[in-house]
C-alpha cells in the first residue's frame, strides 16, 4: 500500500514575490519616466498648436477657390508635427550646455534622455517630414525643405541674434501654414489673404520669441510685452476686412484670443519672476490655436468644423501646460 504523507506538493516560492514585484514596479516606473521625458522634450502642450497651421492655410485657399477638399491638408498637418518635434529636440540638443546651467532638470541635461538618442530621433523626424512632403507634391516639398532649412539655421546660428532669431522662429510658423496651402493646390509663393495670414503668424511668434529670449532672468519686459497683443489686433483688422456672411463667426475666437492675450500681458508688468514669464510664454503659444481657428472659419462649412475642433483643443492644451513646460 502506498504510503500517504502530509508533505505538501512543491509550491511557488512566495518568498520571492516581494522582490519580483518591486523589480516590476521599478521597471514600469522607469518606462513611465522615460515616456514623460520624451513628451517633455517635444513640448506636448505645444504640439496641439501645430496641426492648425497647415489646416488654416488649406482653409484659406479653399475659401478663395470655393472648394472643400481638405484631406491633403491632414497629411500636411502630420508633416508639420514631425518637423516641429524635430526642431524642438534639436533646440535642446544645441542648448545643452546652457540648460545645464539654467535648466538642469530638463530631459537632456538631467541625463533622462541620452544626447545620441535625442539627435537620432530629430534626424529621423526630419527625414519623415521631408519624405511625406515629397509624396504630396513638389510645391509642398519645396515648403518643407525651406522649413527644414529654417529650423536648422535657427538652432545652429540665428537663435542668439535678437531680431533674426525671432523672425526665423516666426517664419517656421508661416511656412507651416504654407504646408497646408500647397497641399491643396496653392503655389509656394503666397499672395493676398494667404500672404497676410502667413505674415501674421510670423509676427506673432517673433513677438513671443522676443519675450522668451531671457525668460530665465528676472528683468522688466517694458513695452515689448505688448507686442503679441498688437499682432492679434492686426488679426482682428484682417478678419474685419476679409470675412463676410457666415465667415464673420471667425471674429469670435479672435476676440477670445485678444482678451486672453491682454490678461497675460498685464501679468508681465513690472519685473516678473522667471517662472511667470515661462508660464506666460506657454500661454501665448497656446493662443495660436484660437488664431488658427479664426482663420479656418473663413471657409464654410468644412473650415468652420475644423475651427470648432481646434477651439476644443485649446483647453486641453492649457491643461497639459500645467504638467509640461512649453517654453
Could you tell me the CA-to-CA distances from 24 to 12, 31, 236, 320 in Å, in that order?
18, 11, 55, 28
Question: What mean pLDDT do residues 110-139 have?
Answer: 95
pLDDT in tens, 56-108: 999 999 988 877 789 999 999 999 999 999 999 999 999 888 888 878 888 99
Predicted local distance difference test score (pLDDT) of residue 44? 87
pTM, to two decimals? 0.86
Closest by CA position to 61, among listed 200, 182, 239:
182
pLDDT in tens, 12-42: 344 434 444 434 333 434 455 688 889 889 8
The residue to which cell 515689448 is assigned: 224
Distance CA 189, CA 210 (A): 27
Burial 209-238 (b: 16+ CB within 10 A, else e): bbbbeebbeeeebeeebbbbbebbeebbeb
Predicted local distance difference test score (pLDDT) of residue 14? 42
The residue to which cell 524642438 is assigned: 88
Q: Dig out the grid coordinates for 311 from the structure.
A: 477651439
Higher pLDDT, 155 or 13: 155
Predicted local distance difference test score (pLDDT) of residue 191? 86
Band (pLDDT 50/70/90 cuts) for residue 10 is very low
Distance CA 308, CA 54 (A): 16
Residue 256 half-sphere exposure toward CB, CA atoms < 13 A: 16
DSSP symbol at 156: I
Distance CA 53, CA 310 (A): 11
Band (pLDDT 50/70/90 cuts) for residue 247 is low
Correct CATH for 44-320 of 1.10.10.10, 2.60.40.10, 3.40.140.10, 1.10.357.140: 1.10.357.140
Distance CA 36, CA 24 (A): 18
Q: What is the dihedral of CA 82, 84, 85, 90, to 10 degrees?
A: 120
Query: Domain residues of the chain, as ranges?
Result: 44-320
Predicted local distance difference test score (pLDDT) of residue 15? 45
What rounded mean pLDDT belongs to the chain? 86
- How many other CB atoms are found less than 10 A from the CB of residue 26? 10
Amino acid at each position: 500500500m502506498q504510503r500517504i504523507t502530509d508533505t505538501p506538493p512543491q509550491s511557488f516560492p512566495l518568498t520571492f514575490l516581494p522582490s519580483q514585484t518591486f523589480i516590476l514596479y521599478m521597471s514600469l516606473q522607469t518606462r513611465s519616466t522615460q515616456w514623460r521625458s520624451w513628451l517633455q522634450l517635444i513640448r506636448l502642450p505645444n504640439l496641439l498648436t501645430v496641426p492648425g497651421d497647415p489646416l488654416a492655410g488649406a482653409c484659406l485657399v479653399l475659401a478663395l477657390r470655393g472648394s472643400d477638399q481638405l484631406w491633403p491638408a491632414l497629411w500636411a498637418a502630420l508633416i508639420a508635427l514631425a518637423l516641429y518635434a524635430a526642431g524642438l529636440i534639436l533646440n535642446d540638443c544645441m542648448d545643452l550646455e546652457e540648460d545645464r546651467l539654467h535648466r538642469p532638470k530638463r530631459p537632456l541635461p538631467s541625463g533622462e534622455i541620452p544626447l545620441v538618442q535625442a539627435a537620432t530621433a530629430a534626424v529621423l523626424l526630419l527625414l519623415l517630414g521631408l519624405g511625406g512632403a515629397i509624396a504630396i507634391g513638389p510645391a509642398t516639398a519645396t515648403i518643407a525643405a525651406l522649413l527644414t532649412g529654417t529650423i536648422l539655421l535657427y538652432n545652429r546660428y540665428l537663435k542668439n541674434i535678437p531680431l533674426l532669431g525671432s523672425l526665423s522662429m516666426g517664419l517656421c510658423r508661416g511656412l507651416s501654414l504654407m504646408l497646408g496651402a500647397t497641399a491643396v493646390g496653392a503655389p509656394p509663393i503666397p499672395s493676398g489673404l494667404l500672404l497676410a495670414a502667413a505674415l501674421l503668424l510670423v509676427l506673432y511668434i517673433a513677438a513671443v520669441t522676443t519675450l522668451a529670449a531671457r525668460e530665465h532672468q528676472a528683468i522688466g519686459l517694458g513695452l515689448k510685452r505688448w507686442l503679441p497683443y498688437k499682432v492679434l489686433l492686426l488679426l482682428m483688422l484682417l478678419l474685419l476686412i476679409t470675412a463676410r456672411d457666415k465667415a464673420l463667426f471667425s471674429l469670435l475666437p479672435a476676440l477670445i484670443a485678444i482678451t486672453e492675450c491682454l490678461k497675460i500681458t498685464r501679468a508681465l508688468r513690472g519685473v516678473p519672476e522667471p517662472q511667470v514669464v515661462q508660464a506666460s510664454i506657454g500661454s501665448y503659444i497656446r493662443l495660436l490655436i484660437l488664431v488658427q481657428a479664426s482663420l479656418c472659419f473663413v471657409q464654410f462649412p468644412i473650415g468652420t468644423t475644423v475651427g470648432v475642433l481646434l477651439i476644443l483643443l485649446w483647453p486641453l492644451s492649457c491643461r497639459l501646460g500645467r504638467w509640461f513646460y512649453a517654453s
